Amino acid sequence: MLDRHAEHFPGPIHQPPLVANVDAIQPGVHAEHAYHPRLQHHFDDMEQQVEASTLGMWVFLVTEIMFFGGLFMAYLVYRWASPTGFQEASNHLNVTWGAVNTAVLICSSLTMALGVRAAQTSAPARTQVGWIVATMVLGAAFLGVKVIEYTDKFTHHLVPGPNFVWEGQYPAAAEIFYSLYFCMTGLHALHMIIGLGIMTVIAIMAWRGQFDSTYYTPVEVSGLYWHFVDIVWIFLFPLLYLIGYHYH
């Protein structure tokens, strides 16, 4: 009887003890896939998160290119229809202010790139914030110049609508030109204002020491957006300001 019960109840099952330290089984696993506090739960590692964030920003910028592309196409069509009228209207824009704004935005791209570099190299928080704030100051200077230009247009009744006044030879073409001018530069200024808001958030995060060589994606993707806004102006400046520079 005892032997029969022993056959059906052999006693507790012995299993090998669980290994608490994974490195005891696979050395280096934690070193290669260390958890980062900024890693979101739906990504496997930081590299995948960076690639997804960068791709997302590039996709967004492609939609922005198509958005501004429609405006550029409208400009080309109407300029082809009345090239002399566009030159006459463009001749009343202040090329000096346009050139100043171009230089300002080029310098802001430089400071933005230096801000990204500071984050990539784990520079002190003060250095990172300094470059970002410098970028914001230049962006605000750009908007200040646009306010001066817009004020001049309102003063001289060059805003399309019932109060538009044009004493040149091509009033219809001039009104179309300034319609495109306000539409294109206004939307560009709106993007600049949004960029300043983004940079404010980035500056606060940098001041709190959240960026270093292991995590700087927000600075990098924000820089992509800022550079895009700058590049749009590089196209707007010659198309709007320079075509009538030698008009007589």
For the four alpha carbons of 163, 88, 151 and 178, in that order, the dihedral sign comes to positive
Give the confidence band of 24 by pLDDT, cuts at 50, 70, 90. very low
| Section 118-134 average pLDDT | 95
Give the confidence band of 27 by pLDDT, cuts at 50, 70, 90. very low
pTM of the model as a whole = 0.80
| Section 222-243 average pLDDT | 95
Question: Is residue 153 a contact partner of residue 235, using CB atoms and an 8 Å limit?
Answer: no
81 contacts: CB under 8 Å, gap ≥ 6? 173
Q: Does residue 32 have a pLDDT over 70?
A: no
Beta-ladder partners of 215: 212
| Section 54-78 average pLDDT | 93
Q: Does residue 36 have a pLDDT over 50?
A: yes
Q: Does residue 33 have a pLDDT over 80?
A: no
Q: What is the pLDDT of residue 147?
A: 97
Average pLDDT taken over every residue of the chain: 85
Q: What percent of the chain has pLDDT over 70?
A: 78
Q: What is the pLDDT of residue 51?
A: 77
Question: Is residue 88 a contact partner of residue 170, using CB atoms and an 8 Å limit?
Answer: yes
Give the confidence band of 31 by pLDDT, cuts at 50, 70, 90. very low
CA distance 174 to 85: 6
| Section 116-145 average pLDDT | 96
Beta-ladder partners of 41: none
Q: What is the pLDDT of residue 216?
A: 86
Q: What is the pLDDT of residue 54?
A: 81
Q: What is the pLDDT of residue 34?
A: 55
| Buried residues in 191-214 as b, exposed as e (16+ CB within 10 A) | bbeebbebbeebbebbeeebbeee
Question: DSSP assignment, residue 160?
Answer: S
Q: What is the CATH number of domain 57-242?
A: 1.20.120.80
Q: What percent of the chain has pLDDT over 90?
A: 70
Other CB atoms within 10 Å distance of the CB of residue 165 = 11
Q: Does residue 219 have a pLDDT over 70?
A: yes
Q: Does residue 166 have a pLDDT over 80?
A: yes
Where is average pLDDT lowest: 1-10, 48-57, 84-93, 217-226? Answer: 1-10
